[in-house]
Amino acid sequence: MDKHLLNKILSNFEITGSLTSFKKISSGYINDTFKIFTDGYPRYILQKINSKVFKKPKDIFYNIDLIQKKSMNIGIILVDSKFNKPYIVINDTEFWRLMDYEDGSQTFNNTTDPEIALECGKVLSNFHITFENTDLSKFKYILKDFHSLPSRIRQFNNACKKLNKEKIKDFSDLINTINTLSEKFQIVYSSKLNKRLCHNDSKLNNILFDKNKKGLYLIDIDTIMPGLILYDFGDTVRTLVNPTSEEERDLKKIKFNKKMFVSFITGFKPTLLNIEQNERDLLPLSVALMPFMHGVRALTDHLNGNKYFKVSYPDQNLVRAKNLIKFAQIALNNEKYMKKIINS
């Protein structure tokens, strides 16, 4: 991306000042994201939506419009284009959007700070309380079967069928682990749980904080759609209680930080008291389900040639898969502990 092309894109939006510099934000696996500086100040976030992943980008903006009508504090303020739309389309396939930058804000990829865990609990709880009685029938399903483990296992099995015998040997331990663990999560999909409006990607670095580390709101809301509260709970907790990144190769460093879990639950309490018992009973399992599912997806993508997630080195998805599945095993070992804290 060069400055000339950025200027061309930005000329389609109603912006303040002139582009002075930009910085690529590299933490995401899907979209291309840039921090935009005008007149020397960080003022905007420019994002190219990955249309290979999001087949109907307009549905994203449709859902965002619905939630903004209920609450403006949803973590995204879109800048209108000169065509009176919150996006522009280049070459018929490239969807670009511009968002206001929250001055002084910050995100965290990893943390061991219990105060941050507490704030994450508050932010996620506030989101679910805000949208508790939302009419789900109005919302588009952005990604079909996004958090359906049965669907993810089918995709994984299809990828395995394409492997030759030598490759099967290389991945045999991981394949056996996946086949064994997948059975433990079937209860989530056989239980009749309430659907709620969910963020569906509420990991730690999708929660925005101010300069004093106070939680503000959830960002990256492309995947907001009906789902299970388990998805949001599990995704947030897995990224809080594990002190390592998804790309840590030394699996011995992967832990379950109980202090972080207690702090998160303290912040999340208002929602805990507001959900059904069958949902509450399965929350501990979700802390294993979500990393397991992400791990299966990462390994599937690795076997398919890294076509879904952006990678910066060839075995990145394989590293992530091993890491995530290892944490899922550790979370399962802490299921009774989590249940005790949730019900205390």
Q: Look at residues 155, 42, 20 and name the one whose alpha carbon lies nearest to residue 103.
A: 42
pTM above threshold 0.75: yes
> How large is the average pLDDT for residues 127-145?
94
Long-range contacts: 258-262, Cβ < 8 Å, 24+?
A: 258/334, 258/337, 259/114, 260/111, 260/112, 260/114, 260/117, 261/117, 261/237, 261/337, 261/338, 261/341, 262/114, 262/341
- Asked whether the predicted pLDDT for residue 129 surpasses 80, the reply is yes
Q: Look at residues 340, 247, 227 and name the one whose alpha carbon lies nearest to residue 289.
A: 227
DSSP 140-161: --SSTTTT-HHHHHHHHHHHHH
Q: For residue 206, which phi and psi values (nearest 5 degrees)?
A: -105, 20
Report the 10 Å Cβ neighbour count for 159.
17
List the chain domain ranges.
3-100, 114-342
Distance CA 96, CA 112 (A): 35
Q: What kind of architecture, by CATH, is found in domain 114-342?
A: Alpha-Beta Complex (3.90)
> How large is the average pLDDT for residues 112-136?
96
| pLDDT single digits (tens) 165-192 | 888 888 999 999 999 999 999 999 999 9
> How large is the average pLDDT for residues 197-205?
96
> How large is the average pLDDT for residues 230-254?
97
Q: Which of 8-12, 117-121, 224-228 has the lowest mean pLDDT?
A: 8-12
Cβ 132 vs Cβ 196: under 8 Å: yes
Q: Look at residues 232, 238, 229, 239 and name the one whose alpha carbon lies nearest to residue 194.
A: 229
Residues 6 or more apart whose CB falls under 8 angstroms from that of 82 comprise: 12, 13, 14
* Average pLDDT over the chain, rounded to an integer: 93
Fold assignment, 3-100: Phosphorylase Kinase; domain 1 (3.30.200)
> How large is the average pLDDT for residues 188-197?
95
User: Token digits for 1?
Assistant: 């991306």
Q: Provide, rounded to the nearest whole percent, the portion of the chain with pLDDT above 90.
A: 75
Coil, strand or helix: which one is 38?
A: strand
| pLDDT single digits (tens) 257-311 | 999 999 999 999 999 999 999 999 999 999 999 999 999 999 999 999 999 888 9
> How large is the average pLDDT for residues 17-22?
89
Q: Look at residues 184, 147, 174, 145 and name the one whose alpha carbon lies nearest to residue 300.
A: 174
- Asked whether the predicted pLDDT for residue 2 surpasses 80, the reply is no
| Helix boundaries (H) for the chain | 3-10, 57-70, 114-130, 149-161, 165-170, 172-182, 186-190, 229-241, 258-272, 277-303, 316-333, 335-342
Q: Measure CA of the first residue to CA of the last residue in the chain; give whole Å.
A: 52
- Asked whether the predicted pLDDT for residue 28 surpasses 80, the reply is no
Cβ 120 vs Cβ 240: under 8 Å: yes
pLDDT band at residue 41 using 50, 70 and 90 as cut-offs: confident
